[in-house]
């Protein structure tokens, strides 16, 4: 995988030749450094200023695509005219797009009820945290004392079992976290394709997509975009990815945005 700045002249020519650029950026680990408490992941003022200038350009459509809830990421970035995709693209809103995944819409009452039940049930376990992202929810149990972690897991699976068995929700597990989602395979790749179609309708000539992200979930977007577009994995040289280029971290992403400046 090539470092983006090692081939910058070639990439710069591609960008200059494009009729329109759809600039898609992940938030955590891409625009904002990863921090222990996700609530504290702020956008640097200088990064916001760079994004503001880019999105004001006639040639660039800016989209921030995150696993966070849409309102959460919108508040953190704070730019009026950008597109925001929350919950890995289940909800997308911007000046020319308003999308809510139908499966996510149907699952909403089930998730609302689950949040209430989980809050009540898990109150007995100090440190258990129910994170309500609107269309999805996560139960974190890293801060629960070790002997109580397995009981917490069991309580969550028991509570969600009826909804799960009638396929009203999907359940996934990560490190000390259980994620409860609508039963749809819709991902960041689908979100990017939807944005490309929207952009192509407005401006069919020479649309070039750029996507930068550091997460496993960004791989879906890299796959969707393929070799013709500019896909950038944010991370160390060893990291396995479908992206064509690499940047080492948030600092280099900022440098990239500086270079993009119209
Ligand atoms: Mg990320």
Tens of pLDDT along 87-131? 999 999 999 899 999 999 999 999 999 999 999 999 999 999 999
Rounded to whole angstroms, the Cα distance separating 53 from 48 reads: 9
For ligand 1, the distance from its centroid to the CA atom of residue 203, given in whole angstroms, is: 29
Q: Which domains are present in the chain?
A: 2-101+186-260 (3.40.50.1000), 102-181 (3.30.70.1020)
Nearest to 208 by CA among 233, 231, 229: 229
Tens digits of residue pLDDT in 172-207: 998 899 999 999 999 999 999 999 999 988 777 789
For ligand 1, the distance from its centroid to the CA atom of residue 221, given in whole angstroms, is: 12
Rounded to whole angstroms, the Cα distance separating 120 from 43 reads: 33
pTM, to two decimals: 0.92
For ligand 1, the distance from its centroid to the CA atom of residue 214, given in whole angstroms, is: 5
Rounded to whole angstroms, the Cα distance separating 74 from 201 reads: 24
Tell whether the model's pLDDT for residue 262 goes beyond 70: no
Check: CB of residue 102 under 8 Å from CB of residue 120.
no
The shares of helix, strand and coil residues in the chain, as percent rounded to the nearest 5, are 45, 25, 30
Count CB-CB contacts under 10 A for residue 59: 16
For ligand 1, the distance from its centroid to the CA atom of residue 147, given in whole angstroms, is: 31
User: Is 72 tagged catalytic?
Assistant: no
Q: Which residues surround ligand 1, an ion (CB under 5 A)?
A: 26, 28-29, 214-215
For ligand 1, the distance from its centroid to the CA atom of residue 231, given in whole angstroms, is: 14
Tell whether the model's pLDDT for residue 259 goes beyond 90: yes
Rounded to whole angstroms, the Cα distance separating 112 from 108 reads: 6
Tens digits of residue pLDDT in 46-55: 999 999 999 9
């Amino acid at each position: 995988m090539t470092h983006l700045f090692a081939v910058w002249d070639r990439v710069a020519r591609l960008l200059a030749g494009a009729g329109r650029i759809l600039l898609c950026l992940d938030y955590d680990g891409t625009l904002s450094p990863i921090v222990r408490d996700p609530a504290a992941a702020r956008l640097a003022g200088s990064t916001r200023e760079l994004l503001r200038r880019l999105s004001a350009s006639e040639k660039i459509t800016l989209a921030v695509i995150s696993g966070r809830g849409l309102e959460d990421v919108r508040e953190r970035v704070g730019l009026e005219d950008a597109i925001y995709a929350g919950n890995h693209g289940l909800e997308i809103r911007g000046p020319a797009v308003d999308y809510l995944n139908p499966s996510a819409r149907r699952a909403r009452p089930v998730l609302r009820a689950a949040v209430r039940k989980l809050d009540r049930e898990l109150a007995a376990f100090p440190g258990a945290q129910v994170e309500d992202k609107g269309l999805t929810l996560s139960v974190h149990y890293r801060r629960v004392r070790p002997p109580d972690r397995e009981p917490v897991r069991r309580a969550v699976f028991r509570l969600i079992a009826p909804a799960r068995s009638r396929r009203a929700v999907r359940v996934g597990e990560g490190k000390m976290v259980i994620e409860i989602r609508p039963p749809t395979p819709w991902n960041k790749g689908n979100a990017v394709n939807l944005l490309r179609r929207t952009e192509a309708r407005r401006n069919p000539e020479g649309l070039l997509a750029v996507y930068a992200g550091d997460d496993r979930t960004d791989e879906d977007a890299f796959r969707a975009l393929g070799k013709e577009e500019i896909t950038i994995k944010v991370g160390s040289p060893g990291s396995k990815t479908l992206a064509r280029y690499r940047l080492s971290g948030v600092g280099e992403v900022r440098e990239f945005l500086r270079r993009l400046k119209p």
